[in-house]
Amino acid sequence: AQTVTQSQPEMSVQEAETVTLSCTYDTSESDYYLFWYKQPPSRQMILVIRQEAYKQQNATENRFSVNFQKAAKSFSLKISDSQLGDAAMYFCAYRSSAGSARQLTFGSGTQLTVLP
């Protein structure tokens, strides 16, 4: 079974600065998908960024980028130019590409505070 670990329960960043959230995972598969979801106090889980394991290029979405290290099984999220609206719980998630797999395996989450 796959596991996802987020070792930072809480992080804080000054507005306009850069912060990196860590995520490691354990799997014996070679093909899979990785996601970062954001859950603000409004509760809705929003997809921030996604990465396919067989693509070597790191995904980027505006101020959000990932550092995907397949050999190290690491998938960190970098938020540049942090904004107050980035404050949320961030979850890293894994999905197998095998068969009809639909389940997401979530990490325990990192609570990000943005300081004005």
Cα 113 to Cα 98: distance, rounded to the nearest angstrom: 36
The two beta strands, 74-79 and 19-21, are: antiparallel
The footprint of other proteins on residues 74-93 (CB under 8 A) is: 89, 91
Contact call for residue 100 and other proteins (CB under 8 A): yes
Q: Which is nearer to other proteins, 7 or 18 (CB)?
A: 7
Contact call for residue 54 and other proteins (CB under 8 A): yes
Q: Which is nearer to other proteins, 76 or 96 (CB)?
A: 96
Count the Cβ atoms, other than its own, within 10 Å of residue 39: 15
Indicate which single residue of 46, 69, 113, 115 sits in contact with other proteins (rule: CB under 8 A).
46
Which of these, 53, 46, 103, 98, lies nearest to 73 by C-alpha position?
A: 53
Cα 94 to Cα 50: distance, rounded to the nearest angstrom: 10
Which spans of this chain sit near other proteins (rule: CB under 8 A)? Answer: 31, 33, 35, 37, 42-47, 50, 52, 54, 89, 91, 95-104, 106-109, 111
